[in-house]
Structures are given as structure tokens and as C-alpha cells.
Amino acid sequence: MMQTTQTTYKRILLKLSGESLLGSQQYGIDSSVLSYVATEVKAVHELGVEVALVIGGGNIYRGMNAEEQGIDRVSGDYMGMLATVINSIALQNALELRGVPTRLQTAITMSQIAEPYIKRRAVRHLEKGRVVIFGAGTGNPYFTTDTTASLRASEINADLIIKGTRVDGIYDADPEKNPNAKRFDRITFRYALENNLRIMDLTAFTLAQENNLPIIVFDMGKTGNLKRLVMGESVGTIVTN
């Protein structure tokens, strides 16, 4: 049951990679990870926060590598978009099993399984307390799901983009390779660009910057982190103008 609790953010867009659903597998969806993500999202939803989600498809198919398999880039990207829909349906099912009302909207029309993406309808669903999942990317090749996240977050007037990763924030080097990497609590878009900190692809990052849309990068794998973040605790690294 939803409750009204004072939170720092009212409407968020959570971006997850398809690879985050792999768990210990090399391919596909780990049911335990899916369950964990749904439980974390439910905890935030119960606070009264309006939640939108974008998830990648890299655990199933990665369009960028399509040409290595003899598939042209455009076809490969469309295949990747369909992979995001598979992940979106799985996450929708996991959320609804936990009593969380959802709507899946896709940028490619699939009327039997999802609504077409319509901005006003998405906002109305959020206002009614439904978690909205955006599938099939932007509907266009050459754009990543990071760009989808920036675009949809801008369109629905989200307070910020929350990017769930395996690390606890943004570093000046890869912390999994360099134990001396420096972690940031807060940085500007300009600093990230000037220092080539690869937080999102350039299109996604620039779109967020132009629309004054903050990005928080945090460790999604730590139980309760998402809830602490929306309650205003210092979790992860925030990027602002």
C-alpha cells in the first residue's frame, strides 16, 4: 500500500543496464536479480515516489556488435530494442507479482503487449501511482538506452535520472581496475566532459545537461540504496550544472 512520506525527489527515472539482470549467468535473466530489483523499486514506490524505468537489452542482444555477426547496424539496433522489451516485460511481471501497478509503453507499436509511448498518458499513469516502464529505446537506431533515459526523463519532467551500476559512484578511473581511483560525491556536467568521465554516452549526457536534469550514479546492488537515495541521503555521485 502506498503511503505519503517526505522524500527529496517526487518523480524519478531509474536507468538499468540489461547486463544488470545477468547475475552470475552469461546470458539471459537471473530470476533472483529480477526479484531483487522489483523489491527495491517497490520500496520506493511505497513512499509515494513516482517511478519510471528504462532498462537496456545487452543481456540478450547488443546491437552495436551486430556487424561482427554480418548484421547491418540498423537491423542490429532494432533487434536490441526488442531485447529491451523482453527485459521490460520480465520486470513488469516481477513488479506486479509484488502488488505494484505498472504500465509498459514502447516506442515501437506492439499493441498486444504494451501501450504506445504517449507522453501525456505516461505522466497520467505516474500521477495515478503506476510504475511506468519505457521499452524499445527511442524507436530509432543509433540511439542507446542511456539516450532513451535522458529523453524520457526530460519529457516527463522527472526530478533526476538515477543510473544503477555495480559501483558506488563516479571515479576518476575504473575502481575495479585501479584501487587508487578517486571517488566524487558531486561533480558538474562540464567537469565530467572535460575529464572524459564516461558516465553515459555523449548524446544522453548532453541532453541531460541541456535540460538541467541531474544524474545520480549509485550502486544498485546494495540493499536499500535506492530508498536511501530518494530520501535525500548521500548515496552515489550526483552530476549537476
What pLDDT is recorded for position 198?
85
pLDDT at 159 over 90: yes
**Residue that wins the pLDDT comparison between 227 and 25:** 227
Name the CATH topology of 11-240. Carbamate kinase (3.40.1160)
What are the phi and psi torsion angles at 219 (to 5°)? -85, 105
Q: What is the Cα–Cα distance from 54 to 153, expressed in whole angstroms?
A: 10
Overall average pLDDT of the 70-76 stretch: 90
**Residue that wins the pLDDT comparison between 67 and 183:** 183
What pLDDT is recorded for position 26?
86
Q: What is the Cα–Cα distance from 132 to 111, expressed in whole angstroms?
A: 16
pLDDT at 173 over 70: yes
Q: Alpha carbon 229 to chain centroid distance?
A: 15
Overall average pLDDT of the 12-27 stretch: 93
pLDDT at 3 over 60: no
Q: What is the Cα–Cα distance from 123 to 132, expressed in whole angstroms?
A: 9
What pLDDT is recorded for position 129?
98
Please state the domain extents for the chain: 11-240
Q: What's the pTM?
A: 0.93
Q: What is the Cα–Cα distance from 232 to 192, expressed in whole angstroms?
A: 23
The chain-wide mean pLDDT, for the chain, equals 93
What pLDDT is recorded for position 63?
62
Q: How far apart are the first and last CA of the chain?
A: 36
pLDDT at 2 over 60: no
Confidence at 4, pLDDT banded by 50, 70, 90: low
Q: What is the Cα–Cα distance from 206 to 23, expressed in whole angstroms?
A: 31
pLDDT at 6 over 90: no
pLDDT in tens, 98-139: 999 999 999 999 999 999 999 999 999 999 999 999 999 999
Give SS3 for 59.
coil
Neighbour-count burial for 134-163, b at 16+ CB within 10 Å, e otherwise: bbbbbbebebbbbbbbbbbbbbbebbbbbb
Tell me which amino acid residue 90 is: A
